[in-house]
Amino acid sequence: MVTGGGKKMGLVGASSLVVANMVGTGLFLLPSSLASIGSISIYGWVVAAIGASALGLVFAHMGMIDPKPGGPYAYARDYVGRFPAFQTNLLYWFANVIGNVAIAVSVTGYLAIFIPALKHPWTANVCTAAIIWLFIWINTRDAKLVGGFTTISTIAGIIPIAFVGLLGWFWFKPDVFMGSWNPDNAPVVSATARSASIALWAFLGVESAAVSAGVIENPKRNVPLATIIGLLVSTVIYISCCTVLMGIIPGKELRISGAPFADAARMMLGPWAAIGISLAAILKASGSLVGWILIVAQSAQAAADDGMFPMRFARTNRHGMPVQGLVITGLMMMVMLLASTSPDVATQFAHITDATVILMSVPYIYSVLAMWRLNQTLDLSTAKTQFFVVTGVVACAYCLSVVLGQSAELDQKALLVLLISTPLFAFIKKR
C-alpha cells in the first residue's frame, strides 16, 4: 500500500475522517425516513449502533493487521476468492451509485425551500438530473477542484447539525415526541428491525479508518481507537438530531418533509433561519455528491485495472479522470432516479436508501469472512480468536437483520442482482 512520504494522520485526524464520512448528507433526510416508523425508532438506533460497532471492529482489525488499498474488495479478493471479490466490488459500486442518487435527491429537497415548484415529483426529477450531470462534469475536470469544493462544503455542513442538534432541545416537546411513538401500532420487534435496517445508511463509512490505515500514525493503536471514537461521536450526533426533530415536528409532517432541518429551524426562529439552514444543507450535500461521484468512479477504475470491470471504466481524459466511467455512472443514476420516482422527496429518498443498505450488507459479510480467514493464519491467543469470532457473528447478524428489515419485494430485487452477478463474472473473466 502506498503511504507517501508526508506526515500521517494522528488519532484526532483519523477520528475526524470517520465522523466526516459517516455523518454525511444522510442526516438531512434520514429523520423523515424514520418518522414513517415513529419515535420508537430510538430502539433501532441502539441495535444499529451495536451492529455498526461490530463492523467497525472488523475493519479496524483488518486494517491494523493487513492494510490494503481497496477496502472490502481487496480483502474479499485476497482471503475469500475472485468471485466474491467481483461480487463485492460490483455490489459496493452499485450501492454507491444508488446512494449518490439519494444525495442528489436531498439537494433537490432543500432547494424546494426556495423553489416550491420542485415539490412536484417530475419537476424535482428534472432538477435532480441537472444536479447529477453538473457534478459529473465537475468531476471530469481535475481532483484538486473536487477536493477544494468538498472541504468548503464540509465546514458548511456543521451549521445545521450544530444549530438544530444542540439548540433544538430548547424547543423539544415530549408530547410531540410521544404522539408519534408508534403510529402504525407495529410490533416492537418489527419496528426495531425496520428502523435498525434504515439506520445502516447512517453508518456507511464505518470502514474509513481501516481502509486508510496506511496513512495513519501507529495504526495498531489509532485505527481501532479512531473507529470506536468516530462511531460514538457519529451515533450521538445522529440520535440527538433525529430525536430532537421528532420532538419538534409532528410525525405526520416529518414523514413527508423534504427538508426537516429547515422546517425545524422555521418553527424555532422563523423563515430566516430556515433559509440559512437550507443553504448550508445544500452546500454540504453538493460537496458530498461531488466527492462520492469521484469515489465511485475511482473504485470502478481500480477494478477495471484489476480485470474485474470493463476496461472502459479505466480510460481517462487529459486531466487523469475516468470520464467514460463517469458518464456510465451518470446514466445508471438516471435509471435509478426514474425508477424511484415518488409523490414526495422524502419517500423517494427512503426508497433509494433502502436499496443501498441491502446491497451493502453483502460486501460487509464478505469482509467478516475475510477477517476469519486472515485470523486463521495468525498466531492469536484463544481469547482474541474467540472475541473476533463473536464480533464477526454480531456483524453478520446485523447485516442479515438489515435484509429481514426490508420488504419482500426489495429482497427479491436484491437477490436478482446477486444472481445476475454470476454470468457477469463469467463474461468479465473470459474477457
Confirm whether pTM is higher than 0.85. no
Would you state the pLDDT for residue 2?
Answer: 40
- 3-state SS class at 334: helix
Backbone torsions φ then ψ of 9, nearest 5 degrees? -75, 140
For residue 60, give the amino acid letter. A
Would you state the pLDDT for residue 127?
Answer: 92
Name all domains of the chain by residue range, CATH numbers in brackets.
Answer: 11-430 (1.20.1740.10)
Per-residue pLDDT of the chain (431 residues; tens, 9 = 90+): 444 444 566 787 777 767 766 766 566 778 888 888 999 998 998 898 899 889 988 988 887 788 776 678 888 889 998 889 889 888 888 888 888 888 888 888 888 888 888 888 889 889 999 999 988 888 787 655 655 666 666 666 677 777 788 888 999 999 999 998 988 888 998 898 888 888 888 888 787 676 666 667 787 778 778 888 888 888 888 888 889 999 999 988 998 887 888 888 889 988 888 888 888 878 877 777 777 787 777 677 777 877 778 888 888 877 777 888 888 888 988 988 888 877 776 777 777 778 888 888 999 999 999 999 999 998 888 898 999 999 999 999 999 988 888 888 888 888 888 888 888 888 776 55
Give me the count of residues in the chain: 431
DSSP 132-159: HHHHHHHHTT-HHHHHHHHHHHHHHHHH
Would you state the pLDDT for residue 162?
Answer: 76
Residue 216, beta-bridge partner list:
9
Would you state the pLDDT for residue 144?
Answer: 59
Residue 9, beta-bridge partner list:
216
For residue 155, give the amino acid letter. I
Instruction: Please state, in angstroms and rounded to a whole number, the distance separating the CA atoms of residues 274 and 374.
Output: 50
33 neighbors 346 (Cβ within 8 angstroms): yes
Instruction: Please state, in angstroms and rounded to a whole number, the distance separating the CA atoms of residues 192 and 40.
Output: 7
Closest CA to 73 of 346, 312, 362: 362
Would you state the pLDDT for residue 424?
Answer: 84
Structure-block grid coordinates of residue 139:
468531476
Question: Which residue do the cell numbers 472502459 mark?
Answer: 312
Structure-block grid coordinates of residue 410:
426489495
Would you state the pLDDT for residue 153?
Answer: 67
Burial of 193 (0-12, 13-18, 19+ CB in 10 A): buried
Instruction: Please state, in angstroms and rounded to a whole number, the distance separating the CA atoms of residues 74 and 257.
Output: 39
Q: Cα 276 to the chain's mean position, in Å? A: 25
